[in-house]
Amino acid sequence: MGSIAGKLLLTSLLLCSVRLWAQEEGSDDNRKSNSHLGWPISVPLNPTAKFADAGTGVTYGVGYNFSRRHAIVGEFMWDWLNTGVSSPRGFGNVNGGSNLYVFSGNYRFELRGKTIGAYLIAGGGWYLRDSSPTTTSALGANGGVGFTVRVGAAPWRMYIESRYHYAPTKNINTQLVITTIGIRY
Q: What confidence tens digit (pLDDT) does each residue in 119-161 have?
A: 999 999 999 998 766 789 999 999 999 999 999 888 899 999 9
DSSP track, 103-139 = EEEEEEEEEE-SSEEEEEEEEEEEEEEEETTEEEEEE
Sorted by sequence, the CB contacts under 8 Å of residue 73 that are 6+ apart come out as 34, 36, 61, 62, 63, 105, 106, 107, 108, 121, 123
E strand segments, 48-115: 55-65, 70-86, 93-112
Residue 88: helix, strand or coil by DSSP? coil
Residue 4: helix, strand or coil by DSSP? helix
Mean of per-residue pLDDT scores for the chain: 84
Sorted by sequence, the CB contacts under 8 Å of residue 94 that are 6+ apart come out as 85, 86, 87
pTM: 0.78
Radius of gyration of the chain (CA): 18
Q: What is the pLDDT of residue 132?
A: 66
Kindly tell me if the per-residue pLDDT of 46 is higher than 80.
yes
- Name the band, by pLDDT with cuts 50, 70 and 90, for residue 93: very low
